[in-house]
Amino acid sequence: MTLSFTKMHGLGNDFIIIDGRQTAPALDTDKIRHLCDRRFGVGCDQLVVLSAPTADGADVLVRFFNADGSESGACGNASRCVATLVGGNPVLQTSAGLLLTSQDGDLITVNMGQPRFGWQDIPLARECDTLHLPIHDAAACSMGNPHATVFGDVSRAEDLGPSLEHSPLFPQRANIGFADIITPTHMRLRVWERGAGLTLACGSGACAAVVNAVRRGLAERTCVVTMDGGDLRITWQDNGDVLMTGPATTVFHGELP
């Protein structure tokens, strides 16, 4: 049986999206890794599987898998792509909770929910001040997936990212953001992603970077985040929810044997 998919990206963070709402695809870790491989498969940063929702109020259940086959609880850029693909401002059911979406022209806003700051919520291997970790003075939070933000030099993503992703301080590994504050309402960000490496953009990473910058007194609650692939607008609302606004692009539809 062939496997239909849609190739999409959010600011160059690219995805294979498989709509399994009618027929669940037969996927295991090896198959996911193969599909994500840019030479032997289709190629993407994350593979996204849609299925029928199980939670009241949700329109679609969404699971996110990194190129190394590991599963992630959140994926901001992919969430905008799924909202576009499904249409009708759907409510996404993810392991991080129900995400509300809305589309205005070419821009999609996803309510990414509330960040969590407890060391067990990130999670960390031991109790730490999550605003000042003992590794490169990073600030950590969870957006439904673990993020650490290192402030000061975006060019260090490639050399520091791999070791920090696998630091023993992160029992489930972590996404590592490298942020330069340009003004209190504008930052530059590059993210070494858990299970995918350096990507052109990271939506949950942009949310984490703004939240961590606000916690540090470095940014205002609405901030434009400029990544290699383009800009996202992030707002950490007074009610605690984080809104992420940006584009989503359909590249092609395909079928696999």
Q: How far is the CB of 115 from ligand API (least distance, A)?
A: 13
175 is in an annotated binding site: yes
89 is in an annotated binding site: no
Q: How far is the CB of 143 from ligand API (least distance, A)?
A: 7
Nearer to ligand API, 90 or 205 (CB): 205
Q: Which residues 183-222 are close enough to bind ligand API by CB under 6 A? A: 193-196, 199, 202-205
36 is catalytic: no
Q: Which two tokens stand for residue 114?
A: 């509330």
Residue 184, H or E segment: none
Per residue, what are the HEC states of 3-42?
EEEEEEEECCEEEEEEECCCCCCCCCHHHHHHHHCCCCCC
HSE of 223 in the Cβ direction (CA atoms, 13 Å)? 30
Helices (H), ranges, 166-250: 203-215
Between CA 199 and CA 76 the distance in angstroms is 13
**In contact, 101 and 90? CB cutoff 8 Å:** yes
202 is catalytic: yes
Instruction: Sketch the per residue contact string, 58 through 87, with ligand API: x for CB under 6 A, - otherwise.
Output: --------x-----x-xxxx----------
77 is in an annotated binding site: yes
Q: How far is CA 100 from the centre of its chain?
A: 15
Nearer to ligand API, 36 or 181 (CB): 36
Contacts of 3 (CB under 8 A, 6+ apart): 18, 25, 255, 256
The count of chain residues that interact with ligand API, using the rule CB under 6 A, is 20
Catalytic residue among 36, 44, 75, 141: 75
Indicate the annotated binding residues. 13, 46, 66, 76-77, 145, 175, 193-194, 203-204
The residues carrying an active-site annotation are 75, 202
Binding positions for substrate: 13, 46, 66, 76-77, 145, 175, 193-194, 203-204
Q: Which residues bind ligand API (CB under 6 A)?
A: 13, 45-46, 66, 72, 74-77, 145, 175, 193-196, 199, 202-205
